[in-house]
Amino acid sequence: MSAAVNPWRLSVAPMLDWTDRHCRYFHRLITRHTRLYTEMVTTGALLHGDQQRHLDFNAEEHPVALQLGGSEPADLAACAKLAERWGYDEVNLNCGCPSERVQRGAFGACLMHEPALVADGVKAMRDAVSIPVTVKHRIGVDKTESYAFVRDFVGTLADAGCDVFIVHARNAWLQGLSPKENREIPPLRYEFAAQLKRDFPALTIVLNGGLQTADEIEAQLALVDGVMVGREAYHNPWRMADWDRRFFGCTTPTAASREAVEEAMVAYMAREAARAQVPWSHIARHMLGLRHGLLAARRWRRVWSDHHLKAEPAARVLALAHARATAVAPDSARFRL
């Protein structure tokens, strides 16, 4: 990769219950240079909970960022120090999650109503660490649909020293919509992110929300500095197989084939079982979209998700999945040992 390539050019979004360290290891087998983010971790969980469980990651995951949920500047600074000490490449503040649980903690998207408080948190983190401090946010909250709202929010945080903004280009509805509906119902306004880049040319502006194909990504990269992809990367991960070549200037793909990725994951499952007694099924769930769009993908997926096979070693399940995927049988036929 060229040293001149913006490190936020492509990234996979933080997704609660999905982008754990096993998922990130899987994604790294497919794309070497795409930036990866943890699930959101609250400051309270880090300061008063099991730090190793929340912060442990595989060395292969770099570049990897820790996303924090919180609002108290002192707590954010303390957690940013933990992130740096643990070896993360970035700490990201969540100002975009609309869930009721997050609202009860007075952070997430509701923080967009308190830009001065967010700025204090950003400054406290920047004073505490040398790694980049970034912010992920929405373009508005509830019925506030004026571009001036997000422009002023970004401007306030930029004055506090933040220079990387990940813009989920939808409003967040704090009442009346579920988190899932908040990802689908509020309209996407990509033009807001492009306008932010025009108004703040010195900042790094990353667009998030709804993008799927490489052509869509390329079109937006003409207008902003980077693109973050969420659920499409999780459900259809092989889309990322060409990203290193197309967007980072690599001459060869990171992954030779889907089969090579699957075999590498089985080796990883065996290591995790020996190291920490992690069942292979906890890891395999993240790769169920690997064969998305291929013939017999459903049969292959059913083997890897069959709870009757949990006692089998992962290598045995791999062989069964391949046998089932290549068998001449309808997709509706149930696999049995």
Active site (catalytic) residues:
97
Q: How many helices and strands, by DSSP H and E, does the chain display?
A: 16, 8
Q: Residues 294, 299, 304, CA angle at the centre, nearest 5°?
A: 105
Tell me the C-alpha to C-alpha distance, in Å, between residue 130 and each of 81, 85, 160, 260, 332.
9, 11, 15, 37, 54
Radius of gyration of the chain (CA): 21
Neighbours of 146 (CB within 10 A): 12
Residue with tokens 């595989």: 58
H-type helices in the chain, by residue range? Answer: 21-30, 43-48, 51-55, 73-86, 100-104, 115-128, 147-159, 179-182, 190-199, 214-221, 231-235, 243-248, 258-276, 280-284, 297-304, 314-326
CA 57/CA 17 separation, integer angstroms: 15
Tell me the C-alpha to C-alpha distance, in Å, between residue 261 and each of 17, 245, 250, 257, 298.
22, 17, 18, 6, 18
Peptide bond into 63 cis (omega under 30): yes
CA 337/CA 309 separation, integer angstroms: 8
**H or E segment and range at residue 37:** strand 35-42
CA 61/CA 211 separation, integer angstroms: 23
Crossing angle of the two packed helices 115-128 and 73-86, in degrees rounded to 10: 40
Q: Kindly give, in sequence order, each residue whose CB lies less than 8 Å from that of residue 231, ignoring residues fewer than 6 positions away.
A: 13, 15, 183
